[in-house]
Amino acid sequence: MGVSRKLDSPCSYYSKIETMSSQKKIAIIYDWIDKWGGVERVLLNLHEIFPNAVFFTSYYDEKKADWAKNLKIKASFLQKFPNFIKKNRILSFIFYPFAFESFNFTEYDLVISVTSSFAKSIITKPSTVHICYLLTPTRYLWSHERIYLNNKLVRSLVMGYLEKIKRWDYIAAQRPDKIISISKTVKERCLKYYKRNSTVVYPGFDAKYWKKISNLKAQISNPQLKSQNYFLVVSRLEKYKKVDLAIGVFNKLNKLLVVVGEGSEEKKLKELAKSNIVFLSKITDAELGGLYENAQALIMPQEEDFGYVALEAQFFNCPIISYKKGGALETIVNNKTGIFFDKQTVASLSRAIERFKKIKYNLGRKVAENAVQNLKRFDKKIFINSFKNVISTLSERKRDEGEKSSEA
């Protein structure tokens, strides 16, 4: 959900909202605070609701997560591990169960775990309300297991431990009192893999913030991009994001493609790319907005859990060409804010690009007509109010249960 990039101090633009009771002790738990992307925007939204909350995480990278410098953060024992272990998801994954179970939440009234991995595994006392905001069930254990196990080194390291950790992950997913999924796609996965029903609350999109950003004029420094004849990928550069598919297509088409992002696959992708493909990272939101505004279209080759970048693109009236699966089906309106391709193959994506070229003027007009209305479904206020309602309902239920047990 997002890409590593420099902030334009979004907190200064956020509207003031009524905060929850300051008398409650609240903790927010996230898998790792080490980058910037769509999920990190969610964390800042939660920080708005709970400005006094303490953030717990496996480890914290101050340089790569400068957006978190004003948060109260407690990291696990993994913080003391060498970088080559703690920053490698595979080498460190055997330690995560112990890292999150080692935290002590006896003082806290409310804990919110935000996770695509193991943060949901925290242990709380019965009276504490634990809400899990589920980004996806642990990807390399469930929905994307094959992609990760295609790597021989990864397979040799984890195979003996994989079934044990899957059983533990399933048990950990039973610990939250309530699971909120970020999309219908994730809700389906949650039921399939964890056998738990969940409520869908979409991540909030802050149109007021992006309006401020759109008013900032960012200079496009790369002369190749001034032609305004490029396509765009905005993504973390990880294997499951399928950026290699987009690069393969544009290598053949010999059209200009701009890839914005960072990740463990960056070196491989740069080696794969020809000279018509430009890589950018650590850009400001103003620069990103300029890229959306001038791009032919945003390419989304991956199966997204939600797809925050699709909302960003629509705000700047940038059409989207997306793989027809996952969260994109919820964020993109077919033939109005984007078009889809059916298979994650060079041929299928190439056909979609050819189709786009024929309809781009009409599609561009439709995006301008429909994007604003579509984005209203994801307004930040809806996210905040929905989250507050879930917390209020669950807190009342917990209180009633406590009173009944004390009477018995």
pLDDT tens-digit readout, 168-210? 999 999 999 999 999 999 999 999 999 999 999 999 999 999 9
Q: Are residues 55 and 175 in the same domain?
A: yes
Q: Do both 383 and 340 map to the same domain?
A: no
Domain count for the chain: 2
Q: Could you tell me if 226 and 103 lie in one domain?
A: no
Q: Does 220 have pLDDT greater than 80?
A: no
Query: Which of 324-328, 337-341, 342-346, 398-402 has the lowest average pLDDT?
Result: 398-402
Distance of CA 301 to the CA centre of its chain: 16
The domain that holds 149 is classified in CATH as: 3.40.50.2000
Rounded to whole angstroms, the Cα distance separating 113 from 27 reads 8
Same-domain pairing of 258 and 109: no
Residue 17: band (very low, low, confident or very high) from pLDDT cuts 50, 70, 90: very low
pLDDT above 60 (res 335): yes
Sheet holding 72-75, edge to edge: 72-75, 54-57, 26-30, 110-115, 129-134, 178-181, 199-200
Residues 75 and 166 occupy one common structural domain: yes
pLDDT at 405 over 90: no
Residue 5, domain member (yes or no): no
Residue 311 lies in a domain: yes
- Same domain (yes/no): 149, 90: yes
pLDDT band, very low/low/confident/very high, at 406 (cuts 50, 70, 90):
low
Asked whether residue 2 is domain-assigned, the answer is: no
> What does the pLDDT read at residue 13?
38
Judge whether 18 lies within some domain. Answer: yes
Are residues 234 and 97 part of one domain?
no
pLDDT value of position 145:
60
- Give the pLDDT confidence of 252-281 residue by residue, as tens digits: 999 999 999 998 899 999 999 999 999 999
What mean pLDDT do residues 98-113 have? 95
For tokens 């021989």, the residue is: 152
Give the number of other CB atoms < 10 A from CB of residue 33: 23
- Amino acid 9 reads S
Which residue is associated with the tokens 């992609």? 147
CA distance to 34, 83, 401, per residue, from 182 (Å): 21, 30, 28
Q: Please indicate, yes or no, if residue 325 is contained in any of the structural domains.
A: yes
pLDDT given for residue 140 in this prediction: 80
pLDDT averaged over every residue in the chain: 88
Q: What percent of the chain is predicted at pLDDT more than 90?
A: 70
> Residues 247, 300: one domain?
yes
Same domain, 196 and 102: yes
Whether residues 32 and 145 share a domain: the answer is yes
Do 173 and 115 meet the contact criterion of CB atoms below 8 Å apart?
A: no
The whole-number pLDDT of residue 139 equals: 84
Instruction: Flag whether 407 is in a domain.
Output: no
* 263, 325: one domain: yes
Do residue 261 and residue 385 come from a single domain?
Answer: no
- Is residue 21 included in any domain, yes or no? yes
What is the SS3 assignment for 14?
coil
Range of the domain at 392: 10-204+379-400
